[in-house]
A and B are shown apart, each in its own frame.
Chain A
Amino acid sequence: MRALEPWVVQPLETFLAESAARLTLLMTASGQVVAQHGFSRSLDVMSAAALGAGIVASTEELARLMGASRFEALVHHGQRQSCMLAAFATPRGRWIGLVVFGPETSVGIVRLFFDQMVQQLAAVAPREQPQPPMLAENFETELNASLKALFGR
């Protein structure tokens, strides 16, 4: 498990231990990765983050069109593994969690401990202002730095 911000580590480690999730990705609403567990290639992380952020944006817009409040979570059930996508509020803004899990656990367990992780993240998040939006000229440098931190190379 690797995280860009150290205060994310403990809540995420607890979640991983309790939920038995295979893959987990925490990212901002725009798809910027904050922490990952289980991914071995940076390309996979980038793709998953972009797709996850896009799906959440789509479902939130769908909810708005239906006159509903935001969907809490989206779960794709599969034969071998399933995927849960959930957006949540943090003191650092709106984040998204993408969790892939297998039959060794259940969606109920994953949801239960994911909700606990969200509460823990809200409790331990530093109160300083979030970083300013990333500028286009810094994008590649920031991206490479993030990937290096997330994969250690």
Chain B
Amino acid sequence: MTATQTALDRVTRVAGVRGALVVDAADGLVVAEQLMDGVDGQAAAALAGSLVGRLVRTAESAGLRPPAFVHLRGDAGSVLAAPGPDELVLVAVVGPDANLGLARLEMIGAAGRLA
């Protein structure tokens, strides 16, 4: 099993996670995905990749270290993103009842092993 597949498995095992993707932040394209029906992977990849890319550039401009984890919370759930090496980003789409703490731990651990 590849590192990418392992990362997606670790994240999607967490309760409440509706899908996970590995995204190329530079292009906003899906590298790999495990998504439930109804989750638009192309849109999630494009928007999450753009968001993380802008946050990284903003942090760099402010003299800060790039974010290790991004949590975008909405009414019906959240989008989580963990930047990894080579401009890859591990993204998860989670429902409102998800175990966010466990999802965060799994994502930060898995994102570091993406390659």
Contacts and interface: CB of A to CB of B under 8 A. Distances in A.
A150 to B, nearest CB: 29
Interface string A98-125: 0000000111110110010000000000
A109 B47 contact: yes
A69 B42 CA distance: 21
B47 A107 contact: no
A109 B42 contact: no
Interface in B20-66: 23, 26-29, 42-43, 45-47, 49-50, 53
A112 B47 contact: yes
A44 B26 CA distance: 29
Nearest to B30: A108
B9 to A, nearest CB: 24
B42 A111 contact: yes
Contacts of B49: 106, 108-109
A109 B50 contact: yes
Nearest to A77: B27
A53 B28 CA distance: 26
Contact of A112 (B23, B43, B53): B43
Which 10 A-B pairs give the minimum distances between C-beta atoms? Answer: A108-B28, A108-B46, A106-B28, A112-B46, A109-B46, A108-B29, A107-B27, A109-B50, A109-B28, A106-B27
Interface of A: 105-109, 111-112, 115
15 contacts: A106-B28, A106-B29, A106-B50, A107-B29, A108-B27, A108-B28, A108-B29, A108-B42, A108-B45, A109-B49, A109-B50, A111-B46, A112-B42, A112-B43, A112-B46
